[in-house]
Amino acid sequence: MTHLIPTQGPLRQTLTFGPPLIAAAVLAWLLLVLAPGWGLPVRLHAPDWALLAEQAPVLQVHIGAATLALGIGVVLLAGVKGNTLHRTLGWTWAAAMATVALSSLFIRSINPGSFSWIHLLTGWTLIILPMALYAARTHNVAAHRSRMTGLFVGALLIAGMFTFFPGRLMWRVFLG
């Protein structure tokens, strides 16, 4: 069977890290170049950690778990696969992602009192995460890789970018 995406080498690394880096660059350009022209207040400053300290505990847990998952995810994607460190960090990453997903069920600030469209990612994460772990346990490396990479990009990077929209908490912490 021919693979369209290489499983190793420099092209695989480009395909793994390229799209998130491009998305981050586009987001930075939108926030720092276009936003001021649209009248949105952009003020680069040291993070205002007091805003995070004022939030409900569930939101603090959610942000902490997401930050942990982001950091571990970068290490896992860049590092050697299949060794003890990968497995240990992988289980920690999975626990952090499950915490992010479960805690999001109690965060309803976008659509007060109800779930919003972003909660679709919660359902997706709670379905795909066990499937990805099962793939790893059964040594289905290709399925494990694609599901975990999809969760990292979709549920962390893309969803994380939405938290930096003007007026949202992370906007206020870093840019507002």
Res 85: pLDDT? 93
| Domain boundaries along the sequence of the chain | 19-174
What confidence category does residue 16 fall into, taking pLDDT thresholds of 50, 70 and 90? low
The string of pLDDT tens digits covering residues 81-118 is 889 999 999 999 999 999 999 999 998 877 777 888 88
Q: Which of 62, 14, 83, 89 is nearest to 159 (CA)?
A: 62
**Helix and strand element counts for the chain (H, E):** 9, 0
**Using CB atoms within 10 A of its CB, is residue 58 exposed (0-12), middle (13-18) or buried (19+)?**
middle
State how far the alpha carbon of 4 is from the alpha carbons of 7, 15, 77, 145, 156, in Å.
Answer: 9, 11, 19, 14, 25
pLDDT at site 17: 62
Residue 122 to residue 130: CA distance in whole angstroms = 13
Sequence letter at residue 103? S
According to the model, what pLDDT value does residue 135 have? 96
pLDDT: is 109 or 130 the higher one? 130
Mean pLDDT to the nearest integer, 130-139: 96
The pLDDT of residue 7: 54
- The per-residue pLDDT for 112 is 78
Is the model's pTM score more than 0.95?
no
Which pLDDT value is given to residue 2?
Answer: 46
pLDDT score of 1 more than 90: no
* CA-CA-CA-CA torsion sign (160, 72, 14, 122): negative
Residue pointed to by tokens 């007060």: 112
Q: What's the pLDDT tens digit per position in 21-73?
A: 677 777 676 666 666 666 666 667 788 899 999 999 999 999 999 999 999 99
